[in-house]
């Protein structure tokens, strides 16, 4: 199973991020390329605990979260197109510095080499093992790179 904690997997994702340019268009979804980059830098900062986040699982997550997580990370199958995202991860800005956002994202992915955020609780899936986090982060990153054809 591919995980962000594997150096070769991280390097492959970083190579793909470097290939992103202003001309990349979404093959599905509503985000433009800048919004996708900002979404991912915020999302990875959340996973890594870069800022003071309030980690709390939603009520629906408490009911369905573990079942959904198990289904999403049970095999190598990529995430489905158009899966919903929490409101906190929706980016409203339409413009930004593409190269700066790419650099931030790449830097954040590099931090998974020494991952430690024992306080992390996914807003839907709840408390997760490091192995589950590694698979989820890999699949989330791959999902958005595929969304933009890289």
Tell me what pLDDT residue 51 has: 81
147 Cβ partners below 8 Å, 6+ apart? Answer: 26, 27, 28, 29, 31, 36, 81
Comparing 4-8, 86-90, 114-118, 128-132, the range with the smallest average pLDDT is 86-90
Residue 150's Cβ-side half-sphere holds a number of Cα atoms within 13 Å equal to: 22
- Give helix 130-147 / helix 7-18 axis angle, nearest 10°: 20
Tell me what pLDDT residue 87 has: 84
% pLDDT > 70, the chain:
100
Tell me what pLDDT residue 86 has: 87
Tell me what pLDDT residue 59 has: 96
Using CA atoms, how far apart are residues 94 and 34, in angstroms rounded to an integer? Answer: 7
pLDDT band with cut points at 50, 70 and 90 for residue 135? very high
Instruction: Reply yes or no on whether the pLDDT at 45 is more than 90.
Output: yes
For the residues 83-99, what does the mean pLDDT come to?
91
- Model's pTM, two decimal places? 0.95
Using CA atoms, how far apart are residues 42 and 66, in angstroms rounded to an integer? Answer: 23
Tell me what pLDDT residue 146 has: 98
pLDDT band with cut points at 50, 70 and 90 for residue 6? very high
Tell me what pLDDT residue 53 has: 81
């Amino acid at each position: 199973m591919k995980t962000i904690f594997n150096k070769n997997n991280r390097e492959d994702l970083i190579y793909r991020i470097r290939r992103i340019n202003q001309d990349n268009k979404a093959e599905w979804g509503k985000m433009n390329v800048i919004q996708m980059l900002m979404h991912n830098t915020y999302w990875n900062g959340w996973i890594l605990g870069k800022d003071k986040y309030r980690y709390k699982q939603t009520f629906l997550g408490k009911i369905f979260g573990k079942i959904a997580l198990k289904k999403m990370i049970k095999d190598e199958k990529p995430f489905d197109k158009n899966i919903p995202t929490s409101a906190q991860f929706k980016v409203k800005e339409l413009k930004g510095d593409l190269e700066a956002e790419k650099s931030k994202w790449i830097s954040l992915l590099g931090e998974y080499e020494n991952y430690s955020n024992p306080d992390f609780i996914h807003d839907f899936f709840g408390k997760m093992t490091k192995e589950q986090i590694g698979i989820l982060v890999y699949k989330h990153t791959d999902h958005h790179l595929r969304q933009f054809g890289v």
